[in-house]
């Protein structure tokens, strides 16, 4: 057995292939977070980055106490694997090490070992012995791995001596020939044999134990070997001439004969071209014969194996099951978003792949997986309309990951599944960035990194708890780095490129108004947006949140138009409000602002219809706005006013006639006349109005059903105003909002969607008129629920216990939105300004960033260093000494021998090392309390210095 030696050469720290792919994933998710302003995505990306850094930190320390033993096999036969035995021992913390061998022919072998103090790791490396002759090892190396397999500290190993491969014995070879030598009768020539005793000789290695004279050895203590002989005619002579075929076939037969005679302990001689082996027997003689056969010229040439053509190792069941379980956790939120059949197919494929690790199920045919991928893509495209958007893209991604899992065959595939699972986790932030999503992301990352740890040493066992603990520990150590980068990493205000996240609109407001549009929204209590005011909350009659403006009417629907012309005037008339608006994900550009917005966030614009608009976002966004009561469009463009008088020809003649009767009145009086008609006409407010005909729809409502929702009243009133000669249009948006007493902000839900009318009056501009408020005043004074049951109420119904709990939870959500989801470039600049760091990229900013990153890394490095030290105080002191001297203690090396070796390396510290030895022995073996001796041992270790004088 080779002596245990530490790995030699210069170690090099580098990421593994999986580590480079992991880094690529971090860069990819960071780009996505920058482009789509995914605040939680920043947190996840920086957490993964911190893990990537922390995994590299302890490798150099872990490798210091590592020693490896690499032993070649005692016998190697051509055509069979040559197993090199390897053993890893460490005097420090537990370590995972991967040992690699490469032959001159290009064959590779590797084994992963886990070793801890007192528990070495053992394994074997099988290099194919393809042909007889020397089998040189071209390269040997060890790599210390981190728990997740992201980094490796490579160190070259001393190359073992070339292994001699014996020829493979011929299967079913005939018996060796018997040759009769010269000499007949009594007194004929004798030769070595096993019949008669011929004398004693000194023992030589390789002699058979049966030939040793044990009686003589017991009496004298000296090993002697008995020699025997036999008549010369009974000996076996193995001759090259007795074989046929090519040289390798001849050597194979001779090898079979040597093996047969060795097993029977029959003497033999050997004659091959260039080599004559005299008559002999025993293990040593047979070994010499096999060596001669192995070295017989010409030596065959082994086929050169191209890099990458070696057979990949098979998938280990426990590691794959852990990965599939982690993928199931990562894909869980999709169950709430994708079609049922897509969820069933995705989870079914994962379950099938997991079942294959336990039962001999047939692998899924490649053609079947291709068909499932094609059909799934077509069905998802038909469901979502595209596979490039948010919903279709994440659904097809999950399906493709499940298909990949069903055909996973190698550890490389398993690690790829881990990366895909992390990417799938990041895509959930496109849909939601709430606290529950953040908790799910942490859980998903933990189990995926535990699965990654399982692939580092798949033969380590099926218990997932050690890997999960390692993953959670690394996440905890990386948290300070993630927090520092989350706060200080530069955040641009705009995207890197424009690629809308297609998906269903979450605001509920459409691009047109038809009957039933807003009454459908009234049954949806999801949050549309939240508004947090810097001062007092506006009164209920001022909470009109302006959205799209509808000016074109075809008799059935109202749509938006673009009317060219100068920007209309805005004349403020009162005190304004400053507020932050947190919009839920939407695919529409409208910022729901109070009338009239006078300050908009960067990148937003105010249209000629006084709509605040910004780039659509598929994620929750936070905006800072300022609004002020104002006269809008007093100097409105005449082309627009003319357009807003248009009505479809021949539609609703009774309504036209009614409005025409008011044309002799002053403009404001015409508005009052129409409102009086609604108040006195017996109209009712309901979510379930009857269906109106497409022809003469306004007449059917005003003079027939007389019941409807806000869009019915706004549409009919706007028609009457245009017929009366006043420019009018419909404004869509939201009305009201619930004040959350737990946070003092407004919650506006989808059910608060509302439509009202704007009428242009000379000298006043666009004047808001809400005809619904004259039928159901509670819609303005209270809320929708109160307006439906008590239309004339002046206050909303008090919330019950369940509603109060819901408000408290929403307050938590709102604070989360403010501090985490809404943390953007503007808030970052505000934070930097408050602490006096100036702009991003300034000198103070860069200095503080470097200092904070160093401080964030320090706790993790200290924890990792402490974990690498032994727990026993005396052993820990010796570990510290080895660290100081940079001289690792060998496995099995006693303290005395180690300290003598250390004194030879640093002779100036001889006296201090003698104190360490004495203090260690007293701490270990003294009968009294060891505490004083342990303190003395620690003090003695501190006095040792590698260079200079010991104190």
Pairing assessment for the beta strands 684-685 and 630-632 based on DSSP bridges = unpaired
Q: How far apart are CA 579 and CA 739, in angstroms?
A: 14
CB 791 within 8 A of CB 460: no
* DSSP assignment string, 688-733: SPPPPPSTTHHHHIIIII-EE-HHHHHHHHHHHHHHTT--EEEEEE
Q: How far apart are CA 285 and CA 293, in angstroms?
A: 13
CB 609 within 8 A of CB 565: no
- Per the annotation, the verdict on 754 as an active-site residue is yes
Alpha carbon distances (Å) from 538 to 573, 611, 701, 766, 768: 15, 20, 34, 21, 17
Distance between terminal CA atoms of the chain? 41
Q: How far apart are CA 281 and CA 268, in angstroms?
A: 7
Query: Which has the closest alpha carbon to 487: 855, 158, 941?
Result: 855
Regions of the chain short of the pLDDT cut 50: 1, 3, 6, 181-188, 233, 307-312, 503-507, 891, 948-951
Q: Compute φ and ψ for 821, nearest 5 degrees.
A: -65, -40
Q: How far apart are CA 539 and CA 571, in angstroms?
A: 21
pLDDT score recorded for residue 925: 77
- In the set 107, 146, 752, 770, the catalytic residue is 770
Instruction: Give pTM, 2 decimals.
Output: 0.76
The sheet carrying 80-90 orders its strands as 66-71, 80-90, 121-129
**Domain formed by 12-164, architecture:** Sandwich (2.60)
- Per the annotation, the verdict on 33 as an active-site residue is no
Alpha helices in 130-224 (DSSP H): 214-220
pLDDT score recorded for residue 327: 93
Pairing assessment for the beta strands 728-735 and 707-708 based on DSSP bridges = unpaired
DSSP reduced 3-state for 238:
strand
Q: How far apart are CA 666 and CA 655, in angstroms?
A: 19
Q: Where does the chain hold its CATH 2.60.40.10 domain(s)?
A: 12-164
- In the set 285, 431, 712, 754, the catalytic residue is 754
Q: What is the 3-state secondary structure (H, E, C) of 94-138?
A: CEEEEEEEEECCCCEEEEEEEEECCECEEEEEEEEECCCEEECEE
- In the set 432, 699, 710, 752, the catalytic residue is 710
* DSSP assignment string, 433-460: -SHHHHHHHHHHHHHHHHHHHHHHSGGG
Pairing assessment for the beta strands 268-272 and 236-239 based on DSSP bridges = parallel
Q: How far apart are CA 926 and CA 905, in angstroms?
A: 29
Q: How far apart are CA 816 and CA 828, in angstroms?
A: 16
Q: Compute φ and ψ for 174, nearest 5 degrees.
A: -65, 165
Dihedral sign (CA 273, 287, 257, 270):
positive
Pairing assessment for the beta strands 745-749 and 527-533 based on DSSP bridges = antiparallel
Long-range contact set of residues 207-214: C-beta below 8 Å, sequence gap at least 24: 207/282, 207/283, 207/284, 208/265, 208/281, 208/282, 208/283, 210/265, 211/282
Q: What is the 3-state secondary structure (H, E, C) of 19-55?
A: HHHHHHHHHHHHHHHHHHCCHHHHHHHHHHHHHHHHC
Reading phi first (left if > 0) and then psi (alpha if -120 to 50, else beta), residue 172 is in left
CB 97 within 8 A of CB 88: yes
- Per the annotation, the verdict on 770 as an active-site residue is yes
Extract the tokens encoding 482.
């993630």
User: How many angstroms from the chain centroid is the CA of residue 84?
Assistant: 36
Q: What single DSSP character describes residue 631?
A: E
């Amino acid at each position: 057995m080779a002596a245990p030696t530490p790995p030699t050469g210069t170690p090099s720290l580098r990421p593994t292939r999986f580590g480079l792919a992991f880094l690529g994933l971090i860069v990819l998710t960071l780009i996505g977070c920058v482009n789509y302003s995914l605040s939680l995505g920043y947190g996840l990306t920086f957490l993964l980055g911190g893990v990537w850094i922390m995994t590299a930190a302890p490798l150099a320390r872990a490798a210091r106490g590592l020693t490896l033993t690499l032993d070649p096999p005692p016998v190697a036969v051509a055509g069979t694997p040559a197993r090199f035995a390897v053993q890893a021992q460490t005097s420090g913390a537990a370590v995972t090490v991967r040992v690699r061998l490469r032959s001159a022919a290009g064959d590779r072998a590797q084994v992963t070992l886990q070793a801890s103090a007192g528990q070495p790791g053992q394994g074997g490396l099988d290099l194919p012995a393809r042909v007889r002759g020397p089998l040189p090892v071209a390269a040997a190396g060890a790599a210390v791995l981190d728990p997740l397999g992201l980094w490796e500290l490579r160190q070259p190993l001393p190359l073992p001596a070339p292994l001699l491969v014996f020829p493979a014995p011929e299967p079913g070879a005939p018996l060796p020939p018997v040759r009769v030598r010269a000499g007949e009768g009594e007194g004929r020539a004798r030769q070595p044999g096993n019949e008669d005793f011929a004398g004693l000789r000194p023992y030589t290695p390789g002699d058979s134990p049966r030939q040793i004279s044990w009686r003589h050895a017991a009496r004298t203590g000296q090993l002697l070997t008995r020699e025997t002989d036999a008549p010369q005619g009974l000996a076996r002579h193995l001759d090259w001439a007795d074989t046929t075929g090519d040289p390798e076939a001849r050597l194979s037969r001779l090898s079979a004969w040597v093996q047969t005679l060795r097993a029977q302990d029959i003497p033999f001689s050997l004659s091959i071209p260039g080599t004559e082996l005299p008559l002999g027997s025993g293990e040593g003689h047979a070994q010499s014969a096999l060596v001669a056969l192995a070295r017989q010229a010409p030596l065959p040439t082994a086929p050169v194996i191209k890099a990458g053509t070696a057979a990949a190792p098979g998938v280990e069941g426990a590691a794959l099951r852990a990965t599939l379980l982690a993928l199931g956790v990562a894909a869980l939120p999709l169950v709430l978003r994708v079609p049922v059949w897509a969820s069933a197919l995705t989870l079914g494929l994962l379950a099938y792949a997991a079942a294959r690790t336990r039962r001999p199920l047939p692998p899924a045919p490649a053609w079947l997986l291709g068909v499932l991928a094609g059909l799934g893509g077509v069905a998802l495209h038909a469901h979502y309309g595209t596979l490039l958007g948010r919903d279709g893209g994440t659904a097809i991604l999950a399906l493709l990951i499940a298909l990949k899992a069903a055909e996973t065959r190698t550890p490389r595939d398993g690690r790829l599944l881990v990366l895909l699972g992390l990417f799938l986790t990041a895509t959930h932030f496109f849909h939601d960035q709430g606290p529950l999503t953040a908790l799910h992301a942490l859980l998903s990352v933990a189990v995926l990194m535990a699965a990654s740890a399982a692939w580092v040493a798949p033969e380590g066992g099926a218990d997932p708890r050690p890997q999960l603990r390692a993953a959670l520990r690394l996440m905890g150590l990386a948290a300070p780095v993630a927090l520092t980068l989350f706060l200080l990493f530069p955040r641009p205000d705009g995207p890197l490129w424009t690629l809308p996240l297609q998906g269903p609109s979450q605001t509920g407001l459409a691009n047109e108004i038809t009957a039933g549009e807003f009454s459908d929204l009234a049954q949806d209590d999801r949050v549309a947006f939240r508004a947090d005011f810097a001062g007092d909350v506006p009164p209920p009659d001022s909470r009109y949140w302006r959205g799209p403006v509808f000016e074109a009417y075809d008799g059935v629907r109202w749509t938006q138009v673009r009317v060219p012309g100068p920007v209309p005037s805005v004349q403020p008339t009162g005190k304004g409000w400053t507020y932050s608006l947190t919009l839920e994900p939407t695919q529409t550009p409208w910022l729901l602002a109070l009338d009239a917005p006078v300050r908009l966030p960067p990148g937003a614009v105010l249209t000629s219809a006084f709509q605040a608009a910004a780039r659509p976002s598929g994620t929750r966004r936070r905006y800072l706005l300022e609004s002020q009561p104002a006269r809008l469009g007093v100097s409105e463009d005449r082309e627009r006013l003319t357009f807003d008088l248009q009505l479809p020809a021949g539609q609703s003649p009774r309504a036209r006639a009614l409005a025409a009767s008011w044309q002799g009145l002053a403009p404001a009086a015409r508005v009052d006349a129409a409102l009086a008609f609604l108040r006195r006409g017996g109209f009712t407010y309901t979510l379930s109005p009857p269906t109106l005909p497409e022809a003469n729809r306004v007449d059917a409502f005003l003079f027939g059903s007389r019941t409807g929702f806000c869009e019915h009243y706004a549409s009919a009133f706007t028609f009457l105003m245009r017929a009366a000669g006043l420019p009018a249009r419909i404004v869509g948006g939201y009305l009201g909002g619930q004040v959350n007493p737990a946070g003092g902000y407004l919650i506006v839900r989808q059910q608060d969607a509302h439509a009202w009318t704007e009428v242009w009056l000379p000298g006043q501009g666009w004047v808001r008129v809400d005809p619904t408020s004259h039928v159901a005043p509670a819609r303005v004074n209270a809320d929708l629920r109160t307006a439906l049951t008590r239309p004339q109420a002046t206050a909303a119904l008090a919330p019950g216990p369940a509603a109060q709990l819901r408000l408290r939870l929403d307050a938590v959500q709102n604070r989360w939105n403010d501090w985490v989801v809404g943390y953007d470039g503007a808030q970052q600049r505000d934070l930097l300004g408050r602490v006096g760091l100036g702009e991003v990229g300034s000198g103070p900013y860069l200095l503080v960033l470097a200092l904070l990153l160093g401080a964030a890394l320090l706790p993790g490095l200290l924890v990792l260093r402490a974990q690498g030290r032994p727990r026993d105080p005396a052993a820990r002191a010796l570990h510290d000494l080895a660290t100081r001297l940079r001289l690792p203690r060998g496995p099995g090396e006693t303290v005395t021998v180690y300290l003598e070796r250390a004194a030879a390396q640093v002779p100036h510290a001889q006296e201090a090392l003698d104190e360490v030895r004495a203090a260690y022995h007293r701490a270990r073996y003294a009968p009294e309390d060891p505490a004083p001796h342990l303190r003395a041992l620690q003090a003695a270790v501190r006095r040792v210095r590698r260079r200079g004088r010991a104190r």
